[in-house]
Amino acid sequence: MPKREKAVQQSRRTPRERVRVLITGGRIQKRIQALAMEIRKDFPGESLHLVSVLKGGVFFLTDLARNIPGEVSFDFIAVSSYGQKTHSSGQVRLTRDLDSSIEGKTVVVVEDILDTGMTLQYLLRLFEQRKPKHLRVAVLLDKPERRIAAVHADYVGFSIPNEFVVGYGLDYAERYRNLPYVGVLLLGPGLKKKRAED
Ligand code: IMP
Ligand code: MG
């Protein structure tokens, strides 16, 4: 078989994307149970209002909510961000607001990942204006190396290296959100890691 044809056939057989498991579903569940207890211990007897960022934060929110004893309510917000490449300021825009007021409530913002911090910085500024009783942040994953905005998360599931991850709510072009684990996305025939800023 001519060399070129063979290469084409091989590249068809070789998957162009693969996911390498970074954090198993079991480890995620165990960590969330511990975070849920920590949050409840910090606010014993209080009604907790969890606010999650669509869509990535939803898996984390539902598992966290199931593990927090006592009274819990939740709401959702959606934002779209212009990446660093297309917009130098990394601007964030609100695309769906909360259903109800957070005034006087003990609010925990639940996010999938804290990366540059631009999204959370925007949300925290917005929520602070609405006068909650307490405002806390829970993130499943933290990539401290990529931080631009000075944002602090009160509850962190796992600190991870600067790699592009998918699964457990996190997507690559809307895919892989349904994976029960978190994995590093490998791209291309040589399956190189996707760079976080791509
Ligand atoms: P930040 O505003 O840069 O902190 O970005 C937060 C958002 O970027 C997250 O809510 C994710 O939607 C997305 N994001 C950041 N890092 C990753 C990643 O490694 N995989 C998938 N999405 C990511
Ligand atoms: Mg997100």
Active site residue 115: yes
Q: Is the CB of 183 under 6 A from ligand 1?
A: no
By mean pLDDT, which of 79-88, 109-118, 174-183 is the weakest?
79-88
CA–centroid distance, residue 150 to ligand 1 (Å):
16
Q: Is the CB of 52 under 6 A from ligand 1?
A: no
Q: Which residues touch 157 (CB under 8 Å, ≥6 apart)?
A: 28, 31, 32, 35, 60, 139, 140, 141, 142
Q: Is the pLDDT of residue 86 over 60?
A: no
- Residue 88 is predicted with a pLDDT of 45
Q: Is the pLDDT of residue 157 over 90?
A: yes
Q: Is the CB of 140 under 6 A from ligand 1?
A: no
Q: Is the pLDDT of residue 83 over 60?
A: no
Q: Is the CB of 117 under 6 A from ligand 1?
A: yes
- Residue 189 is predicted with a pLDDT of 73
CA–centroid distance, residue 114 to ligand 1 (Å):
7
Distance of alpha carbon 52 from alpha carbon 43, whole angstroms: 19
Long-range contacts of 58-63 (CB under 8 A, 24+ apart): 58/169, 59/112, 59/168, 59/169, 59/177, 60/32, 60/110, 60/111, 60/112, 60/138, 60/140, 60/157, 60/168, 60/169, 61/110, 63/28, 63/29, 63/32
Catalytic residue among 112, 115, 171, 198: 115
Distance of alpha carbon 52 from alpha carbon 103, whole angstroms: 17
**Mean confidence (pLDDT) of the chain:** 90
- pLDDT digit string (tens) for 95-111? 999 999 999 999 999 99
